[in-house]
Amino acid sequence: MRHDRRSASRPPRRLFRSLAAALAFLAAGCAGGPPTEAPRTVAQRPAAEQRAGDRSHEQLVAQFGGAYRGPVAAYVNELGRRLAAVSEQPQGPWTFTVLDNPTVNAFALPGGYVYVTRGLIALANDEAELAGVIGHEIGHVTAGHGAQRQTRSTIAQIGVLAAVIGAAAAGLDGPALDAVGQMGSAVGAGVIASYSRAQEFEADLLGVRYLSRAGLDPFAQADFLESMKAQTALSTRLAGGAYDPTRVDFFASHPATADRAREAVRAARLEAGARPGEGARNRDRFLSAIDGMTFGDSRAHGFVRGRRFVHPELRFAFSAPEGFTIMNASTQVAARGPRDAALVFDGGTDPGGPLDAYVARVWAAGISRQARTGPLQGLERTRIGGMEAATAFLPIDTGRGVRIAQLTAIRTGDGRVYRFLGLSNRDDAAMRAALDRAARGFERLSAAEAARLQPWRIRVVTVRPGETAESLAARTPFDRARVERFRVMNGLAPGAQPRPGDRVKLVVE
């Protein structure tokens, strides 16, 4: 059962903590556990390490959706600086970036680059919890963990992934689409080759050290790990293959040990000599800083709303066929459907010239260089939503049977061309018809329609007498599990109720 951590002074939390601490002590006493000696840190970063980070930073930010601006970025920067100032590398340089990415993740690059996603910030419940994650990432830097891996390969691996996505666009097979689904995850993008268990424990120890030195509650780290566990459990239960932009990728980049939270409590006692209840939480300050922050997919990346994908900035929309699940990756939208069918959508600068020539000589020719294909068939010019378009299909021998790639290119007249690549089994006429309808349903949005499409946001509200988790959750736009999501997001145990006067986070449309 999860504890209720909404107020530092409440008895249940103390009970949990002392119990957890006792369990941690027992575990430490009998299970051996990870190394207990003080972590080694580096006071002066090697110049090569600094250069490696400098080289990778901008590309990495772009890969994860860009930097999120606004008050919360300034807040994270200030908090990060406070923690870095009490680290072994106070002179830095340090760069703290909030990534405009809905997943729950954080990572660091050598050279003092620390990243947290806005999805992670949305899950935290106070400043100390967020500081626990930032402190952990600072710890990976000060302990030189990043340098122990091949930083140089970081960007190379991103290149490899781009190639995999090229293969997915060519419609090769399922694993390639899985890779597309992984986009935006640190492990998927090869940014973090994942740390060893010993390195994770070192980073936890260093994180609680910085929390404690900064006057924040070092036990917060364990609380946040509990929240991530609860979020993971909820999205796994809800998943069933469904797209969940708020999934937790943190444990992929920072492997979960048997019980990270319990070890973090142990770390707090070992490293900071801390006792529960000491140290600030700064909950109000934190909540005020995140009030109004975007939640889920952002306007700049387009939103998945059920089977529909809408892009308010590029002003278009389309719907995937019935039974498809849409994944919004950084450079494309991929959807997977029944019977191994798939739909990959992307767009780019208009190559100019007749579109049917583009489909035949550029697009299909490119696929034929990557895969064994039959001759291009059914090439024709058409109009979709009043726009110039061209379609064709191409048999692809995947080595596991012949599949049909349906190619549709649409010229929107604003200097861009959009492409749909449908993929289905050769004998699946119904699926081919459904994929064709999806591509032909592509539509431009008017400026007014686009302006109405706004991302979801975090709103911090004060609970009024008579309000319950159920009544508050009813105000959120999720299509299911509203109450569970509300509780997980607010660190409430199953069945627990917020109390009048509490400030809670709501997701609003």
Q: How far apart are the first and last CA of the chain?
A: 31
HEC secondary structure over 425-473: ECCCHHHHHHHHHHHHCCEECCHHHHHHCCCEEEEEEECCCCCCHHHHH
**Nearer residue to Zn ion within complex by CB, 104 or 389:** 104
Q: Closest separation between CB of residue 211 and Zn ion, Å?
A: 15
Closest alpha carbon to 94 in 118, 75, 78: 78
Closest alpha carbon to 265 in 253, 257, 254, 276: 276
**Nearer residue to Zn ion within complex by CB, 203 or 290:** 203
Q: Closest separation between CB of residue 325 and Zn ion, Å?
A: 30
Q: Name the closest residue to Zn ion (Cβ).
A: 254
Contact 242, 326 (CB under 8 A): no
Q: Please state, in angstroms and rounded to a whole number, the distance separating the CA atoms of residues 486 and 472.
A: 8
Contact 485, 501 (CB under 8 A): no
Q: Closest separation between CB of residue 87 and Zn ion, Å?
A: 15
**Nearer residue to Zn ion within complex by CB, 108 or 179:** 108
**Nearer residue to Zn ion within complex by CB, 255 or 323:** 255
Q: Closest separation between CB of residue 187 and Zn ion, Å?
A: 12
Q: Closest separation between CB of residue 306 and Zn ion, Å?
A: 35
Q: Please state, in angstroms and rounded to a whole number, the distance separating the CA atoms of residues 85 and 81.
A: 6
Q: Closest separation between CB of residue 145 and Zn ion, Å?
A: 8
Closest alpha carbon to 166 in 383, 369, 326, 323: 369
Near Zn ion in 331-360, by CB under 5 A? none
Near Zn ion in 168-227, by CB under 5 A? 200, 203
Near Zn ion in 287-306, by CB under 5 A? none
Q: Which residues contact 342 (CB under 8 A, 6 or more apart)?
A: 168, 171, 174, 177, 334, 335, 336, 422, 423
**Strand-pair partners of 229:** none
**Nearer residue to Zn ion within complex by CB, 205 or 367:** 205
**Nearer residue to Zn ion within complex by CB, 79 or 438:** 79
Reduced to 3 states (helix: H, G, I; strand: E, B; else coil), residue 104 is strand
Closest alpha carbon to 145 in 199, 70, 84: 199
**Nearer residue to Zn ion within complex by CB, 192 or 404:** 192
**Nearer residue to Zn ion within complex by CB, 102 or 146:** 146
- Kindly write out the interface string for residues 25-64 of this chain, putting x where it contacts Zn ion by CB under 5 A and - elsewhere: ----------------------------------------
Window of 87-95, 253-261, 400-408, 449-457 that interacts with Zn ion by CB under 5 A: 253-261
Cis? peptide before 93, omega within 30° of 0: yes
Q: Closest separation between CB of residue 335 and Zn ion, Å?
A: 32
Window of 58-66, 251-259, 321-329, 386-394 that interacts with Zn ion by CB under 5 A: 251-259
**Nearer residue to Zn ion within complex by CB, 200 or 259:** 200
**106 touches Zn ion by CB under 5 A:** no
**Nearer residue to Zn ion within complex by CB, 139 or 321:** 139
**Strand-pair partners of 200:** none
**254 touches Zn ion by CB under 5 A:** yes
Q: Which residues contact 174 (CB under 8 A, 6 or more apart)?
A: 336, 340, 342
Q: Please state, in angstroms and rounded to a whole number, the distance separating the CA atoms of residues 62 and 130.
A: 23
Contact 14, 277 (CB under 8 A): yes
- Chain-centre distance of CA 437, in angstroms? 31
Q: Closest separation between CB of residue 441 and Zn ion, Å?
A: 43
**Nearer residue to Zn ion within complex by CB, 5 or 136:** 136
Q: Closest separation between CB of residue 139 and Zn ion, Å?
A: 8
Q: Which residues contact 227 (CB under 8 A, 6 or more apart)?
A: 123, 124, 125, 129, 488, 491
How many residues line the site for Zn ion (CB under 5 A)? 3
Q: Closest separation between CB of residue 437 and Zn ion, Å?
A: 46
Q: Closest separation between CB of residue 15 and Zn ion, Å?
A: 29
Q: What are phi and psi of 65, to 5 degrees?
A: 100, 5
Interface residues with Zn ion (CB under 5 A) are: 200, 203, 254
